[in-house]
Every structure is written in C-alpha cells, then in structure tokens.
Structure 1
Amino acid sequence: MPFVRGETPSSWRSDFFVEHLMHYAGQIPKWEGLRDERYVYARYFEQSPPFEFFHDLETDPMQLVNLAGDPRYRTALDRARRRTNTLRDSYGGPFAVYKKPEPRKPNVVLIISDDQAWTDFGFMGHPVIETPHIDALARDGAAFTRGYVPTALCRASLATLATGLYPHQHGLTGNDPTIALEMQGPTYWNDPRYRELNAQLIANIDKMPTLPRLLADRGYVSFQSGKWWEGSYARGGFTDGMSHGDPDRGGRHGDDGLAIGREGLQPIFDFIEGAGDNPFFVWYAPFLPHTPHTPPDRLLQKYQSEGRAVELTRYYAMCEWLDETVGELMTYLEQNGLDDDTLVVFVSDNGWIQKTPQTATPPDWFTSFAPRSKQSPYDGGTRTPIILRWPSVIAPARYETLASTIDIVPTILHATGASVPTDLPGVNLMKAVEGRTIPRAAIFGEGFAHDIADINDPAKSLLYRWCIQGQWKLILTYDGAVHRYAMVHPRAHRSPELYDLIADPHETTNVAAEHPEIQAWLSERISRWWPLR
C-alpha cells in the first residue's frame, strides 16, 4: 500500500499479485504470479500443464535457481499456488474480456479399505501394524482423523461412497434381502426369491446420479475394481470395470473384481494407459484386509510373535498387504507423471475388531469380527480416517473436523468442477483445506440389519441411529428385524447411550444418566435429521 515516510500504515500487505497480458487471442494472460516477503512465484499458460518458476529471495536474491521441482519447497510452492488463485479470482484482471480459467480436471483415485479399524494404521498410532504408504498419503495430504461412515456394513457403505446419500436415502441398507432363515451362503443367494428381490435392490442404482455418471458429464472415464454389489460396473455408471454381476457366474459383491490387489493391479494400469488425454476416475476397493485372511507368508512371519493369537497375526499382515498395494499404485502414478495432479482419496468402508479365542462373545457368535465393531454403531465399526491427497493443491495437514463418507462425493465433484446435485447431504471437505468453515455442527449415522426386512421400507430393518456433535455421541436403539444376524445385535438394553469421545474414545462408559440435557438435545437432532413415520 502507498504511504509516506513518518506515517504508520493502517495495515501492511505481505504479498501482491502480478500478471502480464498478451493483447491477442482474446487477451489471455500469458503469465501470472505472486511476490511475497520471501518468495517469487510465476506460471506460464502457453504450456499444459503450466510451466512454473519459484524462487527463494533469502537464498537466491538474483532469482537464478528455479525451485519449483525441489521437494523441500513443496509446501511453500503449494501455498503460493493457492494464494495466486485467490488473488487472481478476486481481482479478475484489468480487461472486461478476461475470463476465469475453466476449473481443473484432476484425475481421481478412490481407495477403499475393506474391514479395517480406524486405529489400525501407523499414522493413527497403532503400535504394531506398519502402513508406510498410507501413512505417506496422510503425511502429504489432508488427514481427517475423525471421519465416519454412516453405516458399518459393506454394501450400504459402498453405496454411500458411490452416491453421496445416506443408506435410508439410497435404499441399500443391508447386504442381502430377507428370504428364509434356515438358508446360508450360495444356497441363499441362488434361491429364485433372493435373486428377484436383489434385482430390485440393484435397480436402485440405475436411477441415481452416481459419482461416475456425474464425472462423465465433465468428460471423465471411470474404472471399477474390487468390491461392488450393484450388478455390473456399468449399472453404477462406470465406463469400464471388472465386475460382471451375473448371478449365474457367481456375481454378488464384486466377482472378478475381487482379484484386484490380491492378484496385482495390472487392470487399473491398463485402464489408465488407455484413458489417453481423458481425465480418469478409479474406484479401487480391494478385498483387503477383508477375510479370508490369507496374507503372503513373508508378512505372516513378520507379525508372528510369542503370545499373539494367530487370528490377530493374520489380520495385521493383511493390513500391511493392503498398504503394499497402495504403495504400488502410488508408485505407478508417480512414475507416469500423474502424481501431482491426481486427487487420491483414502477411506475404509467400515471398521473391524479382530476376534480371537480370548475375545468375550455370546455363545452363538459365529463371525470373525468381535462385538462393537462391524455392523455396530460404535466407533469400532463406524469410524475411519479420511485422507485427501492432491500435491498441486492440498497442503499437508491434520484435521480434527468431523467428517463423513457422505462428504466424499461432493468433495470430489467440487474438486473436478462437476455439477453437484442440490439434494446431497454431505459437505465439501476442501473448505476445511482452504481454511474456510464447514457449515455443519453434527454428523449422523444409522445401523440396519444385515438382511433387509423390506426393500421398500428402510425403517423395518432399523437397529440404531446415532449423532456426534463436538465431544458427544448419542446412540439410540430400535426394534428392526435382524433375521440371520440376530446374535450380532443382541440389544439387551434399549436405553440411550451417550459417550464422551474425547475422554472415552473407545466408548466404555455410558454417561447418559449424568447428562440428560445433552441426551435430549442430541435425540432431538436425530429426530429432525431423519423423521421416522
């Protein structure tokens, strides 16, 4: 700002925007940049991607060394890029014909861990499990450590990731429709009654503006791999994929797609190479660390320890096996020059606490997971870290902001410049990354039976609803039908459960009796969020 000697300015400018305009071809800016107290940044638009200069005036006052490619300056460079964008957009240029550039179209890779607890990562503090590649995503990106899935069950959770809707909205609340109690496994899935009802469930996805469909409107090609319950990949709007969904060939929850990760990543690499100049979206939902827990022997041996249950050893090894595949995928992106402008999103579909012979369970408990994890409303089932990594845009940081997987679809749509449906309940997490306030005080969730009692009425299978605001979490219990998995949902008591997640992160002490006013307040919030008939 201009001032004269002896005067005290009311405010100081710490940086300023610079641009040079060429007066031809629509007066498109030739270059623009930023100068602050220490750095000079400029980018040239004749090239795609733009060529950048970055100089450190403290060490190089003559601006002779271009530091744009120096990893030591990545954070400062990212900050300069974002600040340049902000100043340019607020300034608009000196000519009326100046046009704001079209939003970028980053590639998008969505990595979905299958059955992994929020604690079971190195960056989340696990004392044994090693996940160096996922840790690197968290270190280099925005890590929302208080992330949640609305429903801790595979199909419901994956449908939320594909649509951005709560399960009671998209209708895919459980893994299977209900037919006969005495039937299990393939006998159940191949029954004509099951097939008819499941076909009606899958038809839900045909009517929804899924993430792949919305990205297609922006010119994206998309690839499905791994877990996928809704028939063929094409039913979800993917342009390519691995799952055929044909029940006569074993199609149920991913079929051929379940080989990804366990048998390598070549189908993903082939798809990316075939995408050409089109921006791409990859759905990578490997059957990892999901059962069967059959890790490579080298990893199994690594985690063997005296006194450690073999079930736990196998699970730990599976977590690292997943991490290795993430590393392989990231290495491919880096080696092919795709790393810098690819938005990588990492999340788990639901939690998992491994059952061992020492785990206290009801007598008829037959699942591999322990109580209060998968299929439950507790953090052992619903909590997950959510990571956003986009080196050219997102500065590394950790956030304690409450986040939900309903936020992932709107976040990706905003990042890609795609149209965002107005009825999506989630928020754009990039607001937190940009230093803005996320307009939400609480997050919500719901638990349903594994087997759907009535495919047209989600409330018939409703077991739990919950709300988190600040440190408080309230869980309410309902009388929905449970069918084959009754032992997972004993519901021995129906009274509300209130937990202080900061003081009691593993929800060991119900303090509802001590805080009736908080219980009533959150209960009212739940009722307004999804009013039951």
Structure 2
Amino acid sequence: MGNGTILKALSGLALLSSILFVSASGCTKKGADRPKHPNILLIIGDDIGIDVTTDMYPGMIDDLVKQYGPSGHNHPRYQEIDGRPASTPSLNALAGAGMRFTHAWAQPFCSPTRTSLITGLYSAKTGIIDPLGWLSRNHHSFVKDLKEKGGYSTAVFGKWHIAGLFEYPGMKPKEAGFDLFQGNLHGGVATYYEWDYHVQDASTPPDQWRTEKPPARSLPGIEPTTFAPVVKTADAINWITEQETKNPDKPWFAWFAFNLSHITGRQEPNPMVIPNADTMDETSRKEMEECMGPDGQFGSANTGSCSSEALMRAMTNSMDTMIGRLIETVDELDSDTYIIYLGDNGTWMFGPKREFIDNMYLTKQGRSKGTAYESGVRVSMAIRGPGIKAGSQSDDWVHNVDLFSTILELAGLDVPETVPNREGNGMVEVDGVSLTPILFEGARSLRDPHKGYLLAATVNSYKEGYPVEVGARNATYKVICDDSAETESCVFYNIVEDPIEEYPLEKPDSCDGYENGTWAPSDPEWNYCRLQEVIATKSILAHPPERKTNNLQGAPPKAKI
C-alpha cells in the first residue's frame, strides 16, 4: 500500500508505556468478598448510544460544554452539546451502585456487537460486519463454558440477532449454550405489539425453534399487554424467580436484550412508538402528552406530532422502567448478583423518522449508528456487584468484546487464550481482555496506551455501495478509514482533546518516520501510523469483503417447527 500504510512494528518503541500499563493477565485476584460462582445478569439496550443516557454520567455534558466553549475550542455551536437525554432513573441508580465506564465502545451495528461479545473476537475474526451476517456454529461461546464448566443455568430473553435474519441459519441460542430462549431471533420486531415470539426450550433441538403469537404479560402496576418489553421482562423475572426457588444454590446467567429503542419492521404510521403509559415515568409521559396531539395514542405507532427525538427518549425511558423492575426482583432474590448494562451501538441518524440524536454531539449527519465515529460506537456501560465500589468510575478505553473474558472471570472460570476460527479449521487469539483488574484491583488501564488498540468496523448496508468503515483508537488518538487504509481515505483525531470529533488533525505525508524509528510514541504522527497499520492489517480492510454482498456465511438454513 502507498504512503507506508503497511508497516512493520518497531521493536523497543513505547517500552516505558508497555511497562506502565496494567495487563489483564496476571493481576486479577479472587477477592474474599466475591462469590465463587455468582449469578450474572447481562442487559443490552438497542440503538441507544451514550448521548441518550448521559444522566448516567454526572458532569459529562458540563465538561464537554466547557471543553468546546469559549475557554476551550470555542465552537460556534457549543451550547447545542447540552441537549436533552432520556429520563433514566433506573440506569442512573445502577451506575451509581457500581462502576460506570466513560469510554466504552461497541461495534457500529447490532449483530456485530453481539457476536463480538459472545466470542471475544473483533469482526474481522467473526466475519460479522453488517446487520445481515450470521455467526458460524464453529465459533466458541462463553455461555457454553458457564453451562458446562461452571454448572450454570442459562437463559436468554429478547433480541438475539446472532443467527442472521429471516431463516436464521447461524448459531441459535441453544447452540450457544443457553437452556432456554424466549424472544425474537430477528434484528427487530414487526411491531412492538404484533411480533414473532420465538422459543427454544427442552422440547426443541438446538438448531430449531417454535414461533408463537406473543403472549400477554403483566407486571405490578402494568396492565396485561403484548408490548414486547413487558413480555420479555416478565419472562425473565419468571425464570429468575424459578431458579432461585427451585435450586437457590445453582448459579444462573441471564442474557436480556431489549428491542427498545430500535425501529420496527412495519414503517407506517411510524417506525417508533409511544410506549404504554404505565411503562413510563411522569417526565416521559408528560412529554408525550404535550407532543402527541389529537392523533397520538399511548401504546401504539400513532405518534401524533411527537418528534423522533422525543420518541427515542420515551422508548428509552420505557426500557429503563423495565430494567428497574428486573433489578428490583433480582435484589429481592439475590442482591449479590452481578449486573451489567451495555448499549449495543450508537444512536441512529438515518433520514426522516430515524433521526434521534438530540444531545452531546454537534456533527450528526453522516455519523451515528453504522459508522465508526464516536456517535456510532460509544455506548454506556455499567457493572454492579459484590466487590465493586459504589459510585466508582473508569475512564479507560474499553470495548464490549472485553465482556467475554470479564464474565468468565466473574464466574470463577478460566479465560481461553485462543478459540476456534469461523471455518472451524484453526485457532485464533481472543481479542478481548478482562475488566476485572479495573473492577476489583484499582487498575487504571488494561492496554498499552500507544501500541494497544480498539477496533470498530462495518460494511454499512444502508449506504449506497456498501462502504467499509473502520475506526481504531488507542489511549489518545483515533483514525477512521473509509474503504481503504490509504492516507487519503482516513481521518485523524486526538480523541482526548476532541472527544466528539470536530477538529481533524493533520496527517503525515508518509509513515517513514514511524518505520525508521525517527518518531516516538509521544509524537502524534507515530500514533497515526500505528493506528493506520492496525486498520490495514488487523481489521476487515486486511481482507476487504466483496461488494454488494450480504456477507452471510453460507450455512444451510433450518426450518422452523
């Protein structure tokens, strides 16, 4: 490649920083106040970037306003940073009771995030680089280790979006190690009230499932309804209660994935909804009442005059209410449960009725979900449980791929260094690292600040030509490349001084200074060339996908039963 983009790494550079950073291997301790095989609840929000949930992070918006205001960058529109997030009292309480992560990345789309999480691998290794792909059954799921090595009962509720779309030829929940699945295999529901209720249980083979009409469920204070988040929350509560009642000494793991606040398959009258009134708090109900007008209706896609941004807030608040109910139940049954919340990608900005960013970011068009910009990959993440200091915060740069190793270590299990590749004919190194040194040992960072990296990559199926976009960052810098790792296709940011990516840095004309050792890791140019090298050799751009393809893996579909 031109301009030195394919470069050899320099030995000996950044040695000091390599010594100073905390490795995820070798510093984790089994604290005396940590249960040996604890219950673990993983909660995933859908299409909800950190901008929608900034109330989880007191002071974050104020700091950004100052950073981009008159005493900082003096951006002409800096006041727009202080927008309007959703009301999220349950998530705020979860973050306050444990550790919040301020710089967590996910992949730019739903299924790449889920497949990275369950395998511990970046998208170049899973082969899942857009919403259409499916996970090969040759891959290793950490859930199998929980079940087979840790003796866990396992269940997944809600959105799966790992087996592909429509015929679901990829890895299904039971193939991944779950005992029970109740939810929807697809990437989205047709509507939030009429949707396919997919089930895998003791009566179904691992590669098959049942499709039923959604059952009506209720919760205390919430009327019976087929509203998807209520159904899935009730299912999860029933299962968790059953585990604690029948066999309280047997640990359990629950994967709970919302469809909120994803759009629906049926686009009219609106791809969003005004949630049921009894699933929202007073703040959100009042906003809906003020905007819906005579044509709007609670519990429907008749959204009246409510803006897309307002609907995003309302749906996110409805999710937050369900999270609160779920956590209340868990705390009543076993307050020592580890609870993890994660957003699956950034917030959407994809045209009419799909423009939802209303807080934090200044440049919105051409970014968001489906891109490697911060508004596409930066998400909220918080973890609560025994041994984790309440009100603590990590500013380390972490990735959802790290939860593979983290959950295994929380469960008291060994983390594999290598796992099978997607073809099943070889082994690849796990990309994620465990967060337990940060959670329990006070570690400030897990990766080398210069040589270490995070990756986010996608084939954007929603844009003409299916462009490839890859982002890579280290502790301070970030590079984003479109379609090629050549310099002319890339943009460079100091992500510490410019965390919402308004001021691109000048790129070096070549990477000769990186290759011959003239530059040091303290030089911005060194970091640009290092991250460009990562994109060229470690991401999907090392083996670019064919154009106009859905990137499916070729597995035969299985019929529904």
Give the alignment of 1:122-521 within 5 angstroms: 122-124=55-57, 125=61, 127-149=84-106, 151-176=107-132, 201-202=134-135, 204=136, 206-216=137-147, 217-229=149-161, 230=163, 231=168, 232-243=172-183, 255-256=196-197, 260-263=228-231, 265-275=233-243, 276-277=247-248, 278-292=250-264, 293-296=272-275, 298=277, 299=280, 301-304=285-288, 310-336=307-333, 338-339=334-335, 341-354=336-349, 371-423=366-418, 424-433=430-439, 434-436=441-443, 438-441=445-448, 442-451=452-461, 463-478=468-483, 494-513=488-507, 516-521=525-530
Using the alignment, how far apart are the partners of 1:476 and 1:387 within structure 2? 29
Structure 1 pair 426/266, CA: closer, same or farther in 2 (3 Å)? same
2:108–2:346 CA contact under 8 A, matched in 1: yes
TM-superposition CA deviations, 1:477-533 (whole Å, max 9, x none): 2169xxxxxxxxxx9x95311112233222122213485444223213434544825
TM-superposition CA deviations, 1:442-472 (whole Å, max 9, x none): 33223222459xxxxxxx9771222212231
Secondary structure of the equivalent of 2:417? coil
Structure 1 pair 280/263, CA: closer, same or farther in 2 (3 Å)? same
Using the alignment, how far apart are the partners of 2:404 and 2:128 within structure 1? 17
Shift of 1:386: 1.7
Secondary structure of the equivalent of 1:448? strand
Structure 1 pair 392/167, CA: closer, same or farther in 2 (3 Å)? same
TM-score scaled by length of structure 1: 0.64
2:274–2:314 CA contact under 8 A, matched in 1: yes
Secondary structure of the equivalent of 1:176? coil
Structure 1 pair 306/266, CA: closer, same or farther in 2 (3 Å)? closer
The amino acid that maps onto 1:344 is I
Using the alignment, how far apart are the partners of 1:511 and 1:353 within structure 2? 26
Secondary structure of the equivalent of 1:169? helix
TM-score scaled by length of structure 2: 0.61
Using the alignment, how far apart are the partners of 1:296 and 1:430 within structure 2? 37
1:522 aligned residue: 531
Structure 1 pair 295/246, CA: closer, same or farther in 2 (3 Å)? closer
The amino acid that maps onto 1:510 is P
1:142–1:395 CA contact under 8 A, matched in 2: yes
Q: Calculate the aligned-residue CA RMSD, in Å.
A: 3.7
Percent of pairs identical after alignment? 22
Which segment drifts farther, 125-134 or 299-308?
299-308
TM-superposition CA deviations, 1:384-437 (whole Å, max 9, x none): 122111045444301111110010110010111123111221111110121135
TM-superposition CA deviations, 1:63-92 (whole Å, max 9, x none): xxxxxxxxxxxxxxxxxxxxx976x8xxxx
The amino acid that maps onto 2:142 is L
2:44 aligned residue: 112
1:16 aligned residue: none
Larger radius of gyration: 1
Shift of 1:301: 4.2
Give the alignment of 1:48-63 within 5 angstroms: none
Secondary structure of the equivalent of 2:489? coil
Q: Which runs of 5+ in 1 are unaligned?
A: 1-83, 89-100, 178-200, 362-368, 453-459, 481-490
Q: Which runs of 5+ in 2 are unaligned?
A: 1-28, 62-82, 199-213, 215-226, 265-271, 293-304, 357-363, 419-429, 509-523, 544-561
Using the alignment, how far apart are the partners of 1:303 and 1:283 within structure 2? 31
